[in-house]
Amino acid sequence: MLLARAILWQGQRYTMAGVLPFEVEVCTSPQGHGYTELSVDTPNPFFAPGLVLRGHEFHYSRILPEADLPPTACAVRRGTGCYQGRDGVVRGNLWASYTHLHALATPEWAQGLLNAARNSRSAREQREHLDVRL
């Protein structure tokens, strides 16, 4: 939520970081509550397509329907997710999700995070090396 353009709460709009191109509304009742199961169906820096992610969600907020949602990595098989049956917003090396992954039910999370960090570091080092050569 902090990375969204803004949060709407109790009739007020609060500007946030603006990293993600949507606004989030805080509602008076839960918008997602319970166990989740996501099917990774889009390439991303964290998890291979075909992987099933399990966790839970409990949130009173929702992404506003008129959102310009960036690509998502997962179809929601169980739960609500972040937007229209999708979850796992991916923007560059950012993963934003309403699902809180269960570490034991999704042991791949640790390796996925390490791989993404290594790839990000490698890409940064390659850019720095190119800058030095130029």
Strands (E) across 20-123 are located at 23-26, 32-40, 52-59, 61-63, 72-78, 86-91, 94-96, 100-101
DSSP 47: S
Predicted confidence (pLDDT) per residue in 51-72, tens digit: 999 999 999 999 987 767 778 9
How much is the pTM?
Answer: 0.80
For residue 40, is pLDDT > 80? Answer: yes
For residue 8, is pLDDT > 90? Answer: yes
How high is the pLDDT of residue 111?
A: 87
pLDDT band for 128, please (50, 70, 90 cuts).
low
CB-based contact 89:96 (threshold 8 Å): yes
- Check residues 9 and 71 and name the one with the higher pLDDT: 9
pLDDT band for 5, please (50, 70, 90 cuts).
very high
Domain residues of the chain, as ranges? 6-128
17 to 4, 7, 11, 128: CA distances (angstroms): 6, 10, 19, 27
Predicted confidence (pLDDT) per residue in 78-120, tens digit: 999 988 899 999 988 889 999 999 988 888 888 888 888 888 7
